Structure 1
């Protein structure tokens, strides 16, 4: 009987949860896009989400080693984009949570082969928007016009990144767990007696 390790169970659980949450969140966001702005803009937005998501998932399935490098670079670019949103505030749209969902699903797929690396990437993906939330909170708190910290975490960004942080913990735990849940332990090896060694 094939042994099922704790690491494999954690990896598969994290994959299922991340995929359900990521795909569900993207469907919800794309549904809103067809309501507003709708038309060809919504079609272009959908293509801009589905195409990179599908490409990264296929890469993570077929070439996990390459996907690790590509996704690491994508998370670095995502971090730079997070910094840009704080410094320049280039667009007034929930692009960060959408990008986080697009990255989370292929990272979870890649995490079936490299769970520790996937956990680190998911943690970084969750950390960047949270940093943005905190920076904006403390910046607006000086003027007294900003909302409370609790309401900021209730925004689309907070709703997305907090579960991703939980999925990151699952992958990090899986990366450090290699103990079988069932299966017989190997008996300890006994040293040969001196008489047998001299033969």
Structure 2
């Protein structure tokens, strides 16, 4: 089971990296088209710098990274709640932030699959719940429809992130049985810290 868990963890990381890079390139392509120039460069830096910093932290400081990412996910949820009442940014900010958080969480998943899987579920749930609350609040003809929960930038990000979270949760669940037999904690690191 340990081998299957390692394969699932690594598969989740590779798929997350491909998904995040493709999604961010797609989104930033629009930024370079619409505002263009210096504003697009600032937007790209606002995405790439936190992504790189959190990913490096997750790779180098494996014990600290889950706590830092848990705080980042909490701040992300607070941002989403504030965004329900105040239009902070005229862009799909929640899906972009979800992509920025997904890659470092997947890196943490190499060491702590259950924690990473749970964090990734929360990251995917935030834009979904935000759009669902808008749907309920603006249930008239002008608001988003039920189909908007799964299409558009939110659905395109939420559904793959949930699938990737499922891979990490399954890897963590496979570790529970053998780890418990050896007297190790349930979410024991697979790699050296």
TM-score bracket relative to the smaller structure: 0.7 to 0.9
**Distance of 2:144 and 2:46 partners within structure 1:** 32
Between 1:150-159 and 1:72-81, the stretch displaced more is: 150-159
Look up the match of 1:90.
Answer: 88
Runs of 4+ in 1 over 4 A off after TM superposition: none
Between 1:23-32 and 1:151-160, the stretch displaced more is: 151-160
Look up the match of 1:146.
Answer: 143
* Superposed displacement of residue 161, structure 1: 1.4
**Distance of 2:144 and 2:100 partners within structure 1:** 28
C-alpha spacing 1:148/1:163, structure 2 compared with 1 (3 Å) = same
Look up the match of 1:110.
Answer: 108
Q: TM-score, normalised by structure 1?
A: 0.84
Q: How does 1:36-47 map to 2 (within 5 A)?
A: 36-47=34-45
- Where does the alignment leave 5 or more consecutive residues of structure 1 unmatched? 181-199
Residue 64 of structure 1 aligns to a residue whose secondary structure is coil
Q: How does 1:5-84 map to 2 (within 5 A)?
A: 5-84=3-82
- Is the 2:12–2:168 Cα contact (8 Å) retained in structure 1? yes
Q: CA offsets, 1:31-60, max 9 Å, x none? A: 111111000001111111111111111111
* Superposed displacement of residue 162, structure 1: 1.3
Task: Give the length in aligned residue pairs.
Answer: 177
**Distance of 1:81 and 1:119 partners within structure 2:** 21
- Where does the alignment leave 5 or more consecutive residues of structure 2 unmatched? 179-193
Question: Which of 127, 130, 134 is the equivalent residue of 1:129?
Answer: 127
RMSD of aligned C-alpha atoms? 1.6
Look up the match of 2:170.
Answer: 173
Give 1 or 2 for the bigger CA radius of gyration. Answer: 1
* Superposed displacement of residue 132, structure 1: 0.8
